[in-house]
Amino acid sequence: MISLQSYSLQGKTAIVTGAGQGIGKGIAEALAALGANIVIAEQNPTTCKQTADALKAKGHKALGIVTDVLSAASVDAMVKAAVKEFGQIDILVNNAGGMGKTRPKPLVQMTEEDWDFNWALNAKAHYITIHAIAPVMVKQGKGGAIVNIASIGGSIGHENLTPYGSAKASLINMTAAVAGELGPHGIRVTAVSPGTIVTPLTQAAEPLRQGFTEKTAEMTPLRRLGNPDDIAGAVAFLCSPAASFITGVNLLVDGGRLACARIPVNPQF
């Protein structure tokens, strides 16, 4: 029988990468609200501390650990510190990702460095964290939940975003493959693919994008862009006991953009 307890994460420990701001911060706040102990694995020391301190101020148990998800040594150190602090790891949310300082450009104009960076941050980093944390979950013998933050860019081609989109597509495939490997241990692996989400980064870029957000909202069936809470709600559900029979899936959280593309119609057609 479904009850409020079906969504509780009381006593669980969750690691959220890239949780210093934006979507990651929203996810950390949502999981904490459901009772989880939170590990903020964030590269930026300032936002790492700020997010952890804010959670503690609300009465939650939180630990901020400056972490470079592109470094296996850094991730291993973070995992050891998390286990030392909380005794276990039950949830991993692979949120860190993005394009960094690279910019959209045609494939023929991209450098090898552009390609390697996008694949490292949006695919290899997830391998590194899962590789470090899955054995801990298996040894604990209590199952677990891993959620990878992908993108709708991994399900549809976007011009000038080839390395980013292909890396996210790889992440979606990785999600399904690892779900099969870890399923016998009771560890569920899922992905969430956001559409366009309003974060400090997207807001800062808006003056350079010539009304991109308004145009995107108009092309979205729900007629708005997403916000971090929209993604956090989906992730919280997938991490909860209510989703205990869900694994290997990629959940689109995009306001319906991919399911129902809005195409201008000629009224005389």
Q: Using the 8-state DSSP alphabet, how is residue 181 labeled?
A: H
Residue 158 contacts residue 226 (beta carbons within 8 Å): no
127 is catalytic: no
Q: Please give the C-alpha separations between residue 230 and each of 26, 65, 67, 224, 235, in angstroms, as whole numbers.
A: 9, 25, 25, 12, 9
**List 86, 117, 164, 237, catalytic entry:** 164
Chain position carrying tokens 């991730």: 75
C-beta neighbour count of 154 within 10 angstroms: 23
Provide the token pair at 67: 């972490």
Residue 40 contacts residue 13 (beta carbons within 8 Å): no
Listed residue (59, 61, 64) closest to 19, CA to CA: 64
Burial letters for 62-93: b for 16+ Cβ neighbours within 10 Å, e otherwise? Answer: bbbbbbbbeebebbebbbeebbeebebbbbbb
Catalytic residue numbers read: 164
